[in-house]
């Protein structure tokens, strides 16, 4: 029979173990709750805006609900088609079923302090490349005469239930900006949702494109490692123009919309940067457009003779990351893919298959992932010759099959990239 002293020790040990177990359970639950709230169920940023007309609560950034299956993200004034065809272009995700779409109507607010919106003619455009998903990227066009001041805000209402969304601020882009800037290049990346896990790879991505002439980066955050987020904020403090926007699309719609709403982010990024930059590159973080004969992307663009181009298509080449081609990387602390893996599949993919684009936002109406679906004012797409530039796309395994060829184009930028990386991250 255990002594009294042993019993006390055993009881104390049991209590201690129970406390540890309870602490672990509570900590795990807190982390899961915090993650679920901050990533999947984060609310749109709301603020009270004061102006000469009074104060009104509006939404700044993030998705807002119109009905259970329709969420909208942003709204832009678009008068490029002339005074008889101007509208507020609302960007979001909605069911592909036309019966669901025709029930949505626009309410515009000419004054921020107005309590009642004006219902206007509403049409919609569904982006057809939806991979069979239930929801698709969608434009709602809230028609408004160009000879009237653009609305300050817009809301969408489901006429079947009379459910009305929170108001969106209508972003009115300043056309004059384009006369003040020259060869300014922005860059758009699809929402971060777990595929970006390496801090060094995103550092490489930013350093390469910054070196090549990009001055405005637009990212969307659904899920992102804290270290990476801190790195982006540190770059902002250094004066690098980076927008990290919330991507609070509900989980169920994230799954029923292709690539987590990638088309919505592309359209938002194009219209967000319109009149602020001359060109926008639409790429992923493992894709790099390396000019073969120029030091920057702007210099390459300037060499294109056709003045009526709206988009440039860069053909894709998969660079194999399974076997390093050059072990002498830039620096032991910066083992960049672009300087290490120099072999790609011999066959370069045709245009519009895995390709990526640089567009002129003012000449773009609907931009796809691999090419522009609709240009403005009969602008043209130009397929860039591989002798000018190709899309370096870094993948492994299956993309290393077949004949590989060595391509040292990226090594042209080795010294400049090292200097740029040290400037940004040291």
pLDDT at 279: 97
Q: Are 357 and 311 in contact (CB under 8 A)?
A: yes
Could you give the angle at which helices 226-237 and 199-211 cross, rounded to 10 degrees? 30
pLDDT at 53: 38
Question: Which residue segments constitute the domains of the chain, with CATH numbers given?
Answer: 45-171 (2.60.40), 182-425 (3.90.550)
Could you give the angle at which helices 199-211 and 414-425 cross, rounded to 10 degrees? 120
**Whole-number Å distance between alpha carbons of 216 and 346:** 33
pLDDT at 384: 97
Q: Are 385 and 300 in contact (CB under 8 A)?
A: no
What's phi and psi for 366, nearest 5 deg? Answer: -130, 120
* β-pairing verdict for 279-282 and 185-188: parallel
pLDDT at 114: 81
Q: What's the pTM? A: 0.84
pLDDT at 230: 94
pLDDT at 261: 79
**Whole-number Å distance between alpha carbons of 308 and 379:** 5
* Three-state secondary structure call for residue 411: helix
Contacts of 338 (CB under 8 A, 6+ apart): 204, 208, 288, 290, 392, 394, 410, 413, 417
pLDDT at 326: 60
The DSSP call for residue 182 is -
Looking at the DSSP bridge assignments, the partners of residue 93 are 71, 137
**Whole-number Å distance between alpha carbons of 41 and 66:** 16
pLDDT at 24: 47
pLDDT at 178: 78
Tokens for 206, please give them. 């930013």
Profile the chain (426 residues) by mean pLDDT over runs of 10 residues.
Answer: 52 55 43 32 40 40 89 95 89 85 94 88 89 85 92 95 93 83 95 83 96 97 90 95 92 79 92 96 97 97 88 96 64 74 93 97 95 94 97 85 91 94 92
Return the residue matching tokens 């709602």: 140
Tokens for 122, please give them. 């509403």
pLDDT at 177: 76
Tokens for 281, please give them. 């590159």
């Amino acid at each position: 029979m255990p002594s009294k002293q042993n019993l006390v020790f055993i009881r104390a040990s049991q209590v201690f173990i129970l406390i540890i177990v309870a602490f672990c359970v509570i900590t795990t639950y807190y982390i899961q709750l915090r993650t679920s709230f901050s990533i999947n169920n984060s609310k749109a940023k709301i603020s009270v805006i004061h102006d000469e007309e009074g104060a009104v609560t509006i939404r700044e950034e993030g998705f807002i609900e119109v009905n259970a299956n329709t969420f909208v993200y942003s709204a832009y004034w678009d008068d490029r088609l002339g005074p008889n065809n101007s509208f507020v272009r609302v960007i979001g995700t909605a069911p592909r079923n036309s019966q669901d779409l025709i029930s949505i109507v626009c309410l515009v607010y000419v004054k921020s302090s107005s309590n009642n919106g004006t219902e206007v003619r509403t049409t919609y455009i569904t982006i057809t490349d939806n991979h069979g998903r239930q929801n698709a990227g969608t434009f709602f066009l809230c028609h408004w005469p160009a000879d009237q001041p653009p609305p300050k805000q817009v809301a969408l209402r489901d006429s079947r239930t009379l459910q009305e969304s929170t108001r969106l601020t209508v972003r009115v882009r300043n056309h004059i900006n384009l006369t003040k800037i020259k060869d300014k290049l922005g860059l758009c990346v699809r929402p971060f949702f777990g595929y970006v896990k390496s801090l060094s790879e995103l550092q490489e991505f930013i350093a390469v494109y910054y070196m090549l002439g990009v001055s405005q980066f637009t990212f969307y955050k659904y899920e992102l490692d804290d270290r990476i987020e801190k790195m982006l904020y540190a770059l902002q403090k250094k004066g690098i123009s980076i927008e990290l926007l919330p991507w609070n699309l509900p989980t169920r719609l994230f799954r029923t919309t292709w690539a987590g709403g990638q088309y919505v982010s592309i359209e938002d990024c194009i219209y967000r940067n319109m009149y602020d930059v001359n060109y926008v590159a639409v790429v992923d973080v493992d894709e790099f457009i390396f000019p073969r004969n120029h030091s920057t992307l702007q210099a390459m663009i300037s060499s294109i003779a056709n003045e009526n181009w709206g988009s440039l298509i860069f053909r894709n080449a998969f660079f194999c990351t399974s076997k390093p081609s050059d072990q002498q990387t830039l620096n032991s602390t910066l083992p960049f893919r672009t300087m290490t893996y120099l072999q790609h599949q011999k066959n370069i993919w045709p245009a519009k298959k895995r390709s990526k684009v640089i567009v002129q936002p003012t000449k773009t109406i609907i931009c796809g992932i691999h090419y522009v679906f609709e240009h403005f004012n009969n602008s043209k797409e130009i397929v860039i010759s591989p002798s000018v530039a190709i899309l370096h796309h870094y993948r492994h395994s299956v993309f290393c099959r077949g004949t590989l060829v060595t391509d040292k184009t990226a090594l042209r930028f080795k010294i400049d990239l090292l200097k740029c990386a040290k400037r940004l991250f040291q």
